[in-house]
Amino acid sequence: MCGLLGLLTSGGTSEDAVSRVDQAMHCLRHRGPDEHGTWNDDHLVFGFNRLAIIDIAHSHQPLRWGPPENPERYALTFNGEIYNYLEIRAELVKEHDAKFFTEGDSEAIVAAFHYWGEDAVRRLRGMFAFAIWDTDTRELFIARDPFGIKPLFIATGAGGTAFGSEKKSLLELTDLIGIGTELDPRAIEHYTVLQYVPEPETLHKEIRRLESGSFARVRPGEEPTFTRYFTPKFPAKPFAPGTEKARYQEIAEALEDSVAKHMRADVTVGSFLSGGIDSTAIAALAMRHNPNLITFTTGFEREGYSEVDVAAESAAAIGAKHVVKVVSPAEFAAAIPEIVWYLDDPVADPALIPLWFIAKEARKHVKVVLSGEGADELFGGYTIYREPLSLKPFEYLPKGLRRAAGKLSERIPDGTRGKSLLNRGSLTLEERYYGNARSFNDAQLRAVLRDFRPEWTHQDVTAPIYAQSRDWDPVARMQHLDLFTWLRGDILVKADKMTMANSLELRVPFLDPEVFDVASRVPLDQKITKDTTKYALRQALEGIVPHHVLHRAKLGFPVPLRHWLRGTELFDWAHLQIEESGTDHIFDKQAVVKMLNDHREGVSDHSRRLWTVLTFMVWHGIFVEKRIVPQIQEPVYPVNI
């Protein structure tokens, strides 16, 4: 788990380019405080900050490796972990008599690439963003893991191609590669609707993200070519009669195997623990490999916004030592600028702030944590996935009658029972569902955005994804969409950024190819029922997860944002952010102030919309106006915990 930065120049590597890459690595220091290294040849510069987890004394990067006839043919930088690296190394030794000089997973990647070519990425179980430079062919190969657990930003201009773990490092090199820093108005509108910037966009027009499940090839002076190597599919068929228990066992065994491999480390591994089934399952399985496991949870003092008690009960039930961090409103507000700096692009999910605090606390005890991200997308865990069941009667209506129901809903006053049902029932799945985040509708956008463009809709993002799943059941289509939108745009961004901000490695055992394989074959009636979500997973976890959690509704790390924006905790802070922000050309600030006042008076709950705008304003103040200067501490940790 580390931070990487690379520059492939068009005209040759200069001393200035090497120095600039080395300097730009400083803003990635939190991702790898244990070691720092650079390497360059006549066209490429690699920079690397290491968080040493496996083979601590060796496996230094940038790594050089090659076959016996050319032992330094390749140079590698790699962020992440390969959990089946031992099996890959053994297979390469058996098949090709491959030679290894460390005990780590980095060599496994580059050796696999040498012997298997691009197919190597399909055989890796792990989270990764890596770059391999072939000094013979003068070609750079860049790849990212199937689900987008680890980030990778990329930008190409006349001066070459730069790529790195965080966008802020590329912003340090824009003049070298010959790109501008203009913001992308379409990405801003997408962010305002979705509360995150969807891949491959970023808020900077000329910087993009290498998409999840993709790799790129690039040569000096040329544009990169991109290839998708992994597209998740849900080929679910009904379980054959009498096979249910065997299928549940298959799910449990796949998850247990994944957790076992995710426990591989030369440092202490802990686990995040909320009050839900996903993190509890991971922690319970991890206890089988480390009986001294430490679990971590966070919450708030306000009733209804804390799972501390449930998590503590779960930790006691599985026998884990438990650590709790309670976050006050004052701590919450004070941390916002620093957290937004770590994010690179704004993510308007308030849950990332308590996540930052619990990661900070966990780093005092461990260097690696496991977490339950991905279970909802794989097994059907979101309550919204039950919506197709409630809207089923609308499918039997003629199209004209469905549209008439939608027109009728427009005349019904807001807050009236049945208005939302009529409206959503009048729409197709593609029209109504664009992921778990829905911040502003068109009317609200028109009131707030200075340059609202109605032709830029969520369907810019979702239509190509929906096109891949036309013949699937509606819940599978929603899961598939969330894998490409909500999961990689919000869930995994906050997981990576908030833990790495504290030099803590987070591992997500649900997002494993073998677990996905069994999850993808779960039929609709085993995901969603009229009474519950994740039905098959809950059945599979009988006897693993304590009973008080097994059938409990999802809550996560909830934040009392609605209350705080109405009270003394955040109202004055929010008003000041709006007043001082230099975003008048983007937002109608009077309209935003009205939203804030209406929210305080209880006219409407604008908390999510306000948080979306406020997070952007803080981001703009840091990265564009330079008005806000967060105080980023130098990370100082022991090498081993």
621 within some domain: no
Kindly give the pairing relationship between strand 126-134 and strand 74-82: antiparallel
- Looking at the fold, whether 422 and 510 belong to one and the same domain comes out as no
Q: Checking phi first, is residue 437 left (phi over 0); if not, alpha (psi -120 to 50) or beta?
A: beta
CATH code of 48's domain: 3.60.20.10
Residue 600, domain member (yes or no): no
Give the residues of the chain that fall short of pLDDT 50: none
How confident is the model at residue 420, as a pLDDT? 84
Instruction: Return the amino acid letter for 374.
Output: G
Within-domain flag for 182: yes
Distance of CA 388 to the CA centre of its chain: 26
The pair of three-digit structure tokens given for residue 195, joined into one six-digit string: 């509360």
Q: Are 606 and 599 in contact (CB under 8 A)?
A: yes
Strand partners, 277: none
pLDDT computed for residue 474 by the predictor: 95
Indicate left, alpha or beta for 178 from its phi (over 0: left) and psi (-120 to 50: alpha).
Answer: left
Residue 558 counted as domain residue? no
Residues 27 and 146 both lie in one domain: yes
Same domain? 147 vs 273:
no
Binding residue numbers for ATP:
371-372
| 33 shares its domain with 100 | yes
Beta carbons of 110 and 65 less than 8 angstroms apart: yes
How far from the centroid of its chain's Cα atoms is residue 523's Cα?
26
Q: Are residues 215 and 259 in the same domain?
A: no
From 512, 532, 550, give the residue that closes a domain: 550
Same domain, yes or no, for 391 and 374?
A: no
pLDDT, tens digit, 9 for 90 and up, residues 578-596: 999 999 999 999 999 999 9
Residue 180 lies in a domain: yes
Say how far apart CA 67 and CA 299 lie, in whole Å.
52
CATH number at residue 292: 3.40.50.620
Q: What is the DSSP string of 42-87?
A: SSEEEEEEE---SSTTS--SSEEE--TTSTT-EEEEEEEEETTHHH
Longest distance between any two alpha carbons in the chain, whole Å: 76
Number of domains the chain is built from? 3
- pLDDT at position 304 is 67
The domain boundary residue, chosen from 197, 228, 259: 228
Q: What does the alpha-carbon distance between residue 460 and residue 329 come to, in Å, rounded to a whole number?
A: 37
- Does residue 250 sit in the same domain as residue 122? no
Domain end point (choices 162, 194, 228): 228
Whether residue 473 is found in the same domain as residue 499: no
Q: Which residue has the tokens 């708030």?
A: 300
Is residue 501 domain-shared with residue 478, that is, in the same domain? no
Tokens 């590698």, residue located: 76
Which segments are annotated as binding site?
A: 105, 371-372
What percentage of the chain reaches a pLDDT higher than 70?
98
Any domain includes 557: no
**2 labelled catalytic:** yes
Q: Residue 206 half-sphere exposure, CB side, CA atoms within 13 Å? A: 18
Strand partners, 155: 162
- Supply the range of the domain harboring residue 464: 384-449+456-483
Look at strands 208-209 and 153-157 and give their pairing.
antiparallel
Residue in 455, 460, 477 with CA at minimum distance from that of residue 468: 477
Of 2, 263, 475, 570, which one is the catalytic site residue? 2
Q: pLDDT tens digits for 239-290?
A: 888 899 999 999 999 999 999 999 999 999 999 999 899 999 999 999 999 9
Q: What does the pLDDT read at residue 436?
A: 80
- CA dist., res. 565 & res. 555, Å (int): 21
Indicate whether 518 belongs to any domain.
yes
Q: Are 107 and 58 in contact (CB under 8 A)?
A: no
Report helix angle 513-520 to 244-262, nearest 10: 160
Looking at the fold, whether 376 and 401 belong to one and the same domain comes out as: no
- Beta-carbon count within 10 A of 71 CB: 12
Grouping H, G, I as helix, E, B as strand and the rest as coil, residue 482 is: helix
Task: Check whether residue 64 and residue 149 sit in a common domain.
Answer: yes
pLDDT of residue 409: 85
What residues have CB less than 8 Å from 270, skipping those under 6 apart? 293, 294, 295, 296, 362, 365, 366, 368, 369, 370
Do both 155 and 262 map to the same domain? no
Domain assignment of residue 499, yes or no? yes
